[in-house]
């Protein structure tokens, strides 16, 4: 826990010095320091994240063949690039740590590249990324996180109408996570759609969806897909902890102010020169509002939420638009609550493992490295999970 709080405090110091005060001295050095520091934390972890445990189990069993047998396995069809990566690391390095480092390097460098190209306030964007997306993408959905950052950077090609490069990125991302193909296709359609038409379509589809019973669809998905706790957490985001049929007061306030008002404000008051990016925030807002009815849509967060983050950060520092300036105190308060609630979600007790000995979410706490002795209780529960 102290390691994660140290990262938050470190980013806050850099935000004040470089983003708020505008100091440029040694800025690049500290940006790279944070980047390398985060890569090392993710790369050197030991069984932090329930999905990580599953991936490592697959790595150490026949589910991951040696490189010579890879092209004879089913992995070449279902997830070719991820399977190839696992087989390569197993054959050459013989340790899952190599896979962790590959993932950590790709995810952090590509995320940082996207942030640097879309906002000047990198440390503020990194803080939001760390609180809202970092834990799940670093420790859980490894294949999807690689695909999502490839997608985010491919959007620059789409923006510049370099379609061949965009399509190549689509195949690359799909090689790690099959679901990426649908995202790339959807983004292509959205990019050629007028913003007003997109907003109108999303509003209409949202109200239509409210009249549809997705219980059968959800049951089919649950039977077909092994859901992680990350998805389960999202389902319970706005509901009471004991009775999922009763919406909590805190959940309603959070939904109205943080998950509805703030994104809509960003969509309306983001500079029109960024209209290309606004479309994807509209798309993210649409899917996030439907998550409670169709939990699988939570997967969309990884592909679109970072776009919302950088646009929100740009608005927080906007010194030109009078409306934004007049709302700045409110925006700062709401943004602070976004971070607080994000940390609460990470540190919230695990619904599946509420025991006296392990009262908090064992997926991320305590953080352990490959150099430490494993905790037997945590090992047993991780593998059970």
**Residue-level pLDDT at 65:** 86
Domain, as residue range, for 323: 193-348
**Mean pLDDT to the nearest integer, 291-298:** 74
> Across residues 25-51, what is the average pLDDT?
93
Q: Which residue has better confidence, 384 or 146?
A: 146
Question: What sign does the CA torsion over 126, 129, 134, 138 have?
Answer: negative
**Residue 245: pLDDT over 70:** no
pLDDT at residue 356 tops 50 = no
Mean pLDDT of 191-196: 89
Section 221-229 average pLDDT: 48
For residues 78 and 238, the model is more confident at 78
* Residue 66, in any domain of the structure: no
> How many domains does the structure of the chain reveal?
1
Confidence of residue 221 (pLDDT cuts 50, 70, 90): low
Q: Check residue 213 and give its pLDDT.
A: 63
Residue 361 in this model has a pLDDT that exceeds 50: yes
Position 63 scores a pLDDT of 81
Instruction: Give me the mean pLDDT over the 185-211 stretch.
Output: 88
176 is a domain residue: no
Lowest mean pLDDT among 250-259, 280-289, 314-323: 250-259
For residue 285, being part of any structural domain is answered with yes
Phi, psi of 220 (to 5 degrees): -65, -40
pLDDT of amino acid 350: 54
Quick: pLDDT tens for 130-184: 999 999 999 999 999 999 999 999 999 999 999 999 999 999 999 999 889 999 9
Percent of the chain with pLDDT over 70: 82
Give the Cα separation of 265 and 331 in Å (integer): 9
Per the domain annotation, does 33 fall within a domain? no
Alpha carbon distance 370, 134 (integer Å): 20
Q: Is residue 124 situated within a structural domain?
A: no
Q: How many CB atoms lie within 10 A of CB 212?
A: 10
Look at residue 141 and tell me if it is in a domain.
Answer: no
Evaluate whether residue 216 is within a structural domain: yes
Q: Is residue 219 part of a domain?
A: yes
Helices (H), 62-133: 75-78, 80-92, 97-118, 122-129
């Amino acid at each position: 826990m102290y390691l994660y709080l140290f990262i938050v405090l470190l980013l806050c110091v850099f935000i004040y010095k470089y983003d708020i005060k505008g100091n440029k001295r040694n800025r690049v050095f500290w940006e790279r320091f944070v980047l390398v520091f985060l890569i090392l934390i993710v790369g050197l972890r030991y069984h932090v994240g329930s999905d990580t445990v599953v991936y490592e189990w697959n790595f150490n069993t026949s589910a991951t063949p040696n490189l010579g047998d890879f092209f004879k396995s089913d992995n070449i069809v279902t997830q070719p690039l991820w399977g190839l990566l696992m087989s390569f690391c197993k054959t050459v390095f013989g340790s899952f740590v190599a896979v962790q480092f590959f993932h950590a390097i790709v995810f952090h460098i590509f995320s940082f590249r996207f942030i640097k190209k879309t906002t000047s306030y990198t440390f503020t964007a990194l803080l939001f990324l760390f609180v809202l997306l970092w834990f799940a993408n670093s420790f859980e959905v490894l294949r999807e996180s690689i695909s999502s950052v490839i997608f985010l950077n491919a959007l620059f090609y789409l923006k510049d109408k370099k379609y061949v490069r965009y399509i190549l990125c689509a195949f690359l991302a799909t090689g790690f996570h099959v679901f990426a193909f649908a995202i790339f296709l959807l983004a292509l359609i959205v990019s050629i759609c007028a913003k007003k038409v997109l907003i109108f379509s999303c509003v209409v589809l949202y109200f239509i969806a409210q009249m549809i019973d997705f219980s059968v669809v959800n049951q089919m998905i649950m039977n077909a897909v092994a859901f992680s706790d990350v998805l389960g957490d999202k389902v319970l985001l706005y509901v009471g902890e004991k009775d999922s049929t009763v919406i909590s007061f805190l959940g309603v306030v959070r939904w109205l102010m943080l998950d509805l008002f703030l994104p809509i404000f960003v969509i309306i008051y983001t500079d029109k020169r960024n209209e290309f990016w606004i479309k994807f925030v509209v798309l993210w807002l649409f899917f996030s509002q439907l998550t409670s009815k169709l939990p699988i849509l939570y997967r969309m967060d990884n592909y679109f939420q970072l776009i919302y983050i950088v646009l929100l950060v740009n608005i927080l520092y906007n010194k030109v638009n009078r409306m934004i300036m007049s709302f700045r105190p409110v925006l700062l308060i709401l943004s602070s609550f976004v971070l607080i609630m994000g940390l609460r979600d990470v540190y919230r007790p695990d619904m599946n493992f509420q025991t006296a000995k392990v009262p908090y979410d064992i997926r991320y706490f305590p953080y352990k490295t490959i150099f430490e002795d494993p905790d037997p209780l945590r090992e047993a529960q991780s593998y059970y999970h």
